[in-house]
Structure 1
Amino acid sequence: MEKHEETRYVKRTQKDYSMSFKLQIVQEIERGITTISQVKKEYGIQSRATIVQWLRKFGNFDWENQTPFTMSKGPEQKIMELEAKVKLLEKQKSFLEQQAFVADKKAIIFDMMIDIAEKEYQIDIRKNSSPEQSTILSKKSSKQ
């Protein structure tokens, strides 16, 4: 008995894709890192025309003359690209701040657990090496 996997069709609109995502796809295709069909498969973009539209709108290719643009991008497009980059960096910053917050809380909790274990079992878990010991160890390791 063979099981057939169902592929559900989910209709998407241009608003479903962020500006940074569109620019990333255009850059990957223009640099030759990937092709339109590979992008379509990898990211689940349903229509080739969607990607071509992004290339025409945000790419560096003159579709009428079939040559790469020699002119720089317009100020509006530069602003849009920079705004997309700012949003991406803000998201990354907030994610990293959240990770740092969680790491700080974990460190506090681990210190509390060690304190409780030291009191409960009446043993020293943390190493308290004297300055004399550390200098002796460093001299031994430097000789070798």
Structure 2
Amino acid sequence: MKEDQGNRYIKRTQKDYTMSFKLQIVQEIEKGSRSISEVTKEYGIQSHSTVLNWLRKFGNFDWENQIPTTMTKSPEQKVMELEAKVKLLEKQKSLLEHQAFVADKKAIIFDMMIDLAEKEYKIDIRKNSSPEQSTILKSKNTKQ
């Protein structure tokens, strides 16, 4: 029998998993976005009980009383959560800066197109004139 090289099982130890990886898994399960079995299959975690141990150690669920509690987080956990939030906010900031840049460029291009159309067809496309323009027009009309 040939073994499928893509689906080979890799034996791991607890030392193979970083603290941030464990906390990420716990967070995904507690949010409800994934089940324990989905996580073990996707990330190649050795067993179901490994994830349960992580949930007991790092999760917000009181396993003895079977009620969710807000456990105090270790300084390492807090730092890791804050670092993740900073990365997310930096990504959002760069995305918004890019969108603002694109919007500014579009506004400039649209203004140029309107100016060009006004010159070519000799019509006023912009209906709303600025206060400075309206006072100039009034002064021209009164002089005539």
Q: TM-score range by the shorter chain?
A: 0.5 to 0.7
Label 1:55 to 1:66 Cα distance change in 2 as closer, same or farther (>3 A). Answer: farther
Corresponding letter in the other structure for 1:30: E
Aligned to 2:120: 120
Structure 1: gaps (5+ residues): 1-8, 132-144
Aligned to 1:100: 100
Structure 2: gaps (5+ residues): 1-5, 8-15, 132-144
User: How do 1:43-122 and structure 2 match up within 5 A?
Assistant: 45-49=42-46, 56=54, 58-60=58-60, 71-122=71-122
DSSP 3-state at the match of 1:97:
helix
User: Equivalents in 1 of 2:129, 2:34: separation in Å?
Assistant: 56
Native 8 Å contact 2:36 2:51 kept in 1: no
TM-score (norm 1): 0.55
Label 1:48 to 1:116 Cα distance change in 2 as closer, same or farther (>3 A). Answer: same
Larger relative contact order, structure 1 or 2 (CA cutoff 8 Å, min sep 6): 1
Q: Deviations over 1:74-93 (max 9, x none)?
A: 11111111111111101111
DSSP 3-state at the match of 1:124:
coil
Native 8 Å contact 2:40 2:47 kept in 1: no
Shift of 1:50: 9.0
DSSP 3-state at the match of 1:73:
coil
* Residue-pair matches, total: 112
